Amino acid sequence: MLDNNQHAREQGDEPVVNKDEFAIVTVDDEIRADGLCRSLLRRFYNSLLEGGMAPQEATILASGADYYVRDFLVGYKHRSLFDERPGIVRQFAGNWYIVNTIEPDLEELAGHLRGVRSFYRFLHDQGLIGGDFSAAMEQECGEGAYYEGRIRSFWEIEGDGYLAWERECSLKQD
């Protein structure tokens, strides 16, 4: 008997997305979710190409989304891609990216955020996330001035000022 994904592949359709499979509790869950996200990101990339986008631009957008989804959301936060709690992009761009990048740069971050924004639009268009969450992610991706200030203030930290800086946009929030 064929599962839904095997049947979809034989019919030339996209595999059905079971959001429950993206939940992360154990290391095995994280490995599974990473693979599922990789597959969904590939679908995203292919949809960009099918929409007429140049391969170079599609690669840039998909790479930005991949960095956010697989390195931050799944790898660091151990959070399902379909956990619709706003604030996650802000944690990525306003803290995690800054402290995990040797030379955090607004232009590079903006490139990642273009990919993240485009990926969340794709998820919404596929009916995989709700409109309110999609709109919240759109807004968080567009807060360039805030993220620029976070990068600048990070470089200005003196003494024990890191804790105050971190509290302003904490990674400890769920």
For residue 38, being part of any structural domain is answered with yes
Q: Could you report how far apart the first and last alpha carbons of the chain are, in Å?
A: 40
What's the Rg (C-alpha) of the chain? 17
For residue 107, being part of any structural domain is answered with yes
Tens-place pLDDT, residues 132-160: 999 999 999 999 999 999 999 999 999 99
Whether residue 12 has pLDDT greater than 90: no
For residue 76, being part of any structural domain is answered with yes
For residue 49, being part of any structural domain is answered with yes
For 146, the domain range is: 23-168
Q: Please compute, for residue 84, the number of CA atoms within 13 A of its CA located in the half-sphere on the CB side.
A: 13
What is the pTM (predicted TM-score) of this model?
0.88
Tens-place pLDDT, residues 26-82: 999 999 999 999 999 999 999 999 999 999 999 999 999 999 999 999 999 999 999
For residue 86, being part of any structural domain is answered with yes
pLDDT band at 13 (very low <50, low <70, confident <90, very high): low
